[in-house]
Structure 1
């Protein structure tokens, strides 16, 4: 396998290059040829001109193209150019497929996978280019994953355009579309394809929940309009600059053990936010930001892996937000690949990668694809590459990543401290200071939730109200400190006698409330009687004997919280009238 890459601005440059002796030698000996065109020019006529001029010189080649948000050649970023990457295979066969979106995305994915696996044998890998601005690529890949039978690697990227005006173009062998998918299938027992991906983004905000969504549109986060959440955190406006301002602040979430980052791309009149992959209701998200130090570190790890693979060609598919984040230092992530093997690719509008049988549509990632035939080239002898982030001759250059890394770490620590403080505040707000059990407010919330569960699933639950008998006498005789010790000891006894699903709270003074889910009145009565006996037989601090009175009530359909508690309270009052140290049910 031989790979050659050229940056062009004119057809004449391309023709002269392909006509050179170096390229002609490879044309004569190659079993198959793949030409990839990565272009900033969204006019399809430009790609068609490239294809038509190349076709007479390489009639059997598969020529695939995509518009980009930045081009990569020789490991470097190029802008407003076209990169032509030609790969000459010694043995491998390749075949291209292009489908316009003529049906629902899931059905299109199923049909596409079936077509590929019917027409192709000995599949070693499949490259996909899609148009995420004009179709739901995640749904397409859902269907594609369902239908494909092999576990060969699948990789690629989403076509984009510099001005985000939703005019992406993909082209295959002289045919193009702005709404569809193309595939290039690699077939051989001799070719090996290795795919590596990494993220490098970390959480900035607290964790939030998607409370309403519709396909690619996130409508509400924590029951607030999605855009209002972004506006509050980032002071981002819904204007022509929205995409550029939010580009490096994707939503981070985890699904099936995989970390995802999804960058918002659009806001509608209802303040819903569009992303390129479905995020479902109930999933937790947070706003993220890239950490340059982690990105460069991960790049170094991947480069060393690629080096050990003995790659003969490397293709990079990197999300546009990485370019936007790293700015002038973006080449730090990509240049070292060129020292391993010829490297080309583009900055994408989403990245396509497989993991086992599942093919995913990612965002904010870097995808490094290594190819070789046979054993590949001999590894170079130089040491593993460590990326230098500064020029020792000028300590003031290339400091962007240092500054951003420290700012991100600062925000991370502050966010963690605030979350810990908020958690402690929530705990204190719900906890009784003396006994360290739940307080009345928490009990009220718990009962409310149990009533909702009872309404929805017709489940029973009961409550037990208990009060220490003659407790005022204890305080008057022994003092309030001993009285407090007795209350603390009572809570320890109660916790030993109730289940983990039950909720104990201090209702007030020497009065306590137990909420028992999935328990009828008789079950609650038996529990209350057992607790009554334990209390009566126990020796409290200062060798004091103590008893309690109990009122039991089970929730009745249609009752309010107040009505249920009132019944338990009346039952407790009756227990007091009967002489105390007894259980009464209502």
Structure 2
């Protein structure tokens, strides 16, 4: 196969490009020709004139295109009005599909697309998809395609201009403002390799999506979504919201892979529209473009594509990358031009479907390498370039300063995260025994109650108290009392299961939460601990301490309470029964939830 590409701003330049001898020879000799046209505007007359010129080149060529933020040709983002790329295939066949699609029609559209491919599905090597991502849910479309035809390899990008208000995809036959055009590349010796490069890294603390529906996020950490952007980025709901915020997407991990989700519009109620959906309960971070990671990934990706042996490379790169890297965006593209001719466009959402991951990407670059010749038998050599060129590209101008700044921010962020993690640990731990404290117990109890209600399981708690503890402090001193508390904590932890949670409730009192455990089994455990404690021989500064005994009260859910307070109260009452009966014993609660009411 052969990829021919060029940029033009008027019809004279287009005719000169199409009239080149190499272009004419390659097009006429090809089994099939796929033309991609990318424009900076939606001028229908201009697009029609381009189509007429292409039709004169060869009647059966397949033409698709889109209005875009910008376009890519020969390893660079072009300033020209349009770019045209012609993929001349020696063996592959092409199937064109054009469909309207609006919100709510994604699943039906996916079914129609797969049905249109019919019995060619088995021979498909890849499907180029150009769509209008703000007119419908592209994430849902891609997921529905994967459901209808698992593993179908889709790639491409979304159309939009800088205002995110005008979108257009087209073929030789149709102009579509809400929908998509797709081309299936089938059969022959064609091989396609697809890769995704993100480069955005998490920064700051973890946030939780607490209210969302589809691509509309209303609440983050129980606050209006826009308030989070005001707090951390100083960005409010002005006319330039998208331009101000696009470099800071939210990052969410799915299937072990980071995905970016880009906000683009604020509603009157403070909710925010994103270019792809986020789900309630998902944990997210703000993301920032870490230049060093981008550089390393591009170098690794270049090696992968190099080993594939490409004859053509198509690149679909997010507008966010263009805004962050500015004129240095070419530094991500040039390495691939040294391997094979490149073409593509700057997107509003990138497509690269995989069976185990979301197909719609944001802030990413999708690199699609193609060949029809046999795989290289030995290492290929890229077009000649100075040995250190790719290593130094990102350090030649303003990127050098940005790299240092980002390194500093990353280091500060790691320090803050470590400090916050230590503060969180200290906040829920008893400093003397190292056990969870009463504050942590509240969260543990609530989680266990919710889990038990959801799955219909019981669980038990044990409240235990050291008998005659006051004498240790009065006779042997408070340090001796601390020794007893610490030794008892060690014994409780040693006897507890990995799933059990041991807490110091206060003073000489401890609580043990035992998931999926009935009261009778918890009582057996308590009796085992009671005997073990009774057998302890404790010393403080080589002075033997009196024998230590402990009393236990056991209660279970749902038998002894409908909530955490009632359950603790029932276990406490059982503990006092053990005290009244002479201490050093285990008592189970005999009070039911109904009796408490």
TM-score, normalised to structure 1, is: 0.92
Per-residue CA deviations over 1:317-338 (Å, capped at 9, x if unaligned) read 1011011110121111112322
- Work out whether 1:289 is the aligned partner of 2:288: yes
Q: Where in structure 1 do 4 or more consecutive aligned residues deviate above 6 Å?
A: none
2:564 counterpart of 1:566: no
Match runs of 1:209-248 below 5 Å = 209-248=208-247
Residue 401 of structure 2 corresponds to residue 403 of structure 1? yes
Please list, as runs of the form range in 1=range in 2, the aligned pairs for 1:151-550 lying within 5 A after superposition: 151=151, 153-165=153-165, 167-356=166-355, 360-375=359-374, 379-380=381-382, 382=384, 386-388=388-390, 398-541=396-539, 542-544=543-545, 545-550=547-552
Q: Distance in 2 between matches of 1:289 and 1:101?
A: 33
SS at match of 2:194: strand
Report the more deviating stretch, 453-462 or 377-386.
Answer: 377-386
CA spacing shift, 1:484–1:82, aligned 2, 3 Å:
same
Aligned mates of 2:375, 2:577 — CA distance in 1: 88
C-alpha separation in 1, matches of 2:573 and 2:50:
88
- Taking a change above 3 Å as real, the CA distance of residues 449 and 379 of structure 1, as seen in their structure-2 partners, is closer
The Cα of 1:456 is off from its aligned counterpart by 4.8
How far residue 62 of structure 1 moved from its aligned partner, in angstroms, is 0.8
**Residue 465 (structure 1) shift:** 2.3
Q: Is residue 583 from structure 1 mapped to residue 581 from structure 2 by the alignment?
A: no
Structure 2 counterpart SS, 1:207 = strand
Paired with 2:90 and 2:436, the residues of 1 have a C-alpha distance of 73
Distance 1:88 1:562, change over 3 A: closer
RMSD (Å) for aligned C-alpha atoms: 2.5
Residue by residue, what CA displacement relative to the aligned partner does 1:147-169 show, whole Å, maximum 9, x if unpaired? 225x563211111213222x111
Please give the secondary structure, in 2, of the residue aligned with 1:203.
strand
Aligned to 2:359, the other structure's residue is in SS state strand
Once the two structures are TM-superposed, the CA of residue 191 in structure 1 deviates from its matched residue by: 1.7
- In the alignment of these two chains, the number of paired residues is 580
Offset of residue 233 of structure 1? 1.0
* Segment drifting more, 575-584 vs 198-207: 575-584
- Give the deviation of 1:80 after TM superposition: 5.5
Cα distance change of structure 1 residues 546 and 23 upon mapping to structure 2, 3 Å threshold? closer
Distance 1:156 1:386 in 2: 32
Separation (CA, whole Å) in 1 of partners of 2:371 and 2:522: 71
Instruction: Please identify, of 7-16 and 64-73, the stretch whose mean Cα deviation from structure 2 is larger.
Output: 7-16
Residue 75 of structure 1: how far off its partner (Å): 0.8
Aligned partners of 2:388, 2:301: CA distance in 1, in Å?
11
8 Å contact from structure 2 (residues 315, 342) kept in 1 = yes
**2: distance between equivalents of 1:444 and 1:97?**
58
Q: Residues of 2 paired with 1:116 and 1:523: CA distance?
A: 61
1:293, 1:401 within 8 Å by CA — same for their partners in 2?
Answer: no
Alignment-derived partner of residue 148 in structure 1: 149
C-alpha change, 1:463 and 1:188, in structure 2 (3 Å) is closer
Provide, for residues 503-543 of structure 1, a one-character-per-residue CA deviation record: whole Å limited to 9, x for no partner: 22222222222233333333333322222222112212244
**Alpha-carbon distance in structure 2 between the residues aligned to 1:340 and 1:376:** 14
1:336–1:385 contact (8 Å) kept in structure 2: no
Residues 1:83 and 2:83 are matched in the alignment = yes
In structure 2, distance between residues paired with 1:144 and 1:313 = 26
Q: Distance in 2 between matches of 1:375 and 1:307?
A: 14
Shift of 1:142: 1.1
Give the corresponding residue for 1:95: 95
SS of equivalent residue, structure 1 residue 539: coil
Contact 2:24 2:57 in 1 (8 A): no
Distance change (3 Å), C-alpha of 1:376 and 1:344 = farther
Paired residue secondary structure (1:507): strand
- 1:59 aligned onto 2:62: no
**Deviation at 1:356?**
5.0
Q: Is the 8 A contact 1:304 1:384 kept in 2?
A: no
Q: Could you tell me how far 1:91 is from its partner in structure 2?
A: 2.8
Shift of 1:296: 2.1
Contact 2:72 / 2:343 at 8 angstroms: preserved in 1? yes
1:553 aligns with 2:551: no
Does the CA-based 8 Å contact 1:243-1:266 persist in structure 2? yes
- What 5-or-longer segments of structure 1 have no aligned partner? none
User: Structure 1, residues 208-246: CA drift from partner, whole Å, max 9, x if none?
Assistant: 222221111122222222222122111111111111111
Q: What is the CA deviation profile of residues 278-314 of structure 1, one whole-angstrom value per residue up to 9, with x for unaligned ones?
A: 2222222111011112212222222233333332222
Q: Secondary structure at the match of 2:325?
A: helix
Q: Secondary structure at the match of 2:57?
A: coil
Report the Cα distance in structure 2 between the residues aligned to 1:2 and 1:455, rounded to whole angstroms.
63
Contact 1:153 1:194 in 2 (8 A): no
Q: Could you say which residue in structure 1 is the equivalent of 2:130? A: 129
Flag structure 2 segments of 5+ consecutive residues without an equivalent.
590-597
Counterpart Cα distance in 2 of 1:510 and 1:521: 23
- Give secondary structure in 1 for the equivalent of 2:551: strand
Distance 1:572 1:338 in 2: 77
For residue 552 of structure 1, report the CA deviation from its aligned partner. 2.9
**8 Å contact 1:336–1:387 — kept in the other structure?**
no
Corresponding residue of 1:22:
22
| Further displaced range: 342-351 or 371-380 | 371-380
8 Å CA contact 2:120, 2:186 repeated in 1: no
Could you tell me how far 1:458 is from its partner in structure 2? Answer: 4.8
Q: 1:139 — aligned with what?
A: 140
| Cα distance, 1:386 vs structure 2 | 4.9
The answer (yes or no) to whether the contact 2:202–2:285 under 8 Å persists in 1 is: yes
Q: How big is the shift at 1:452?
A: 4.2
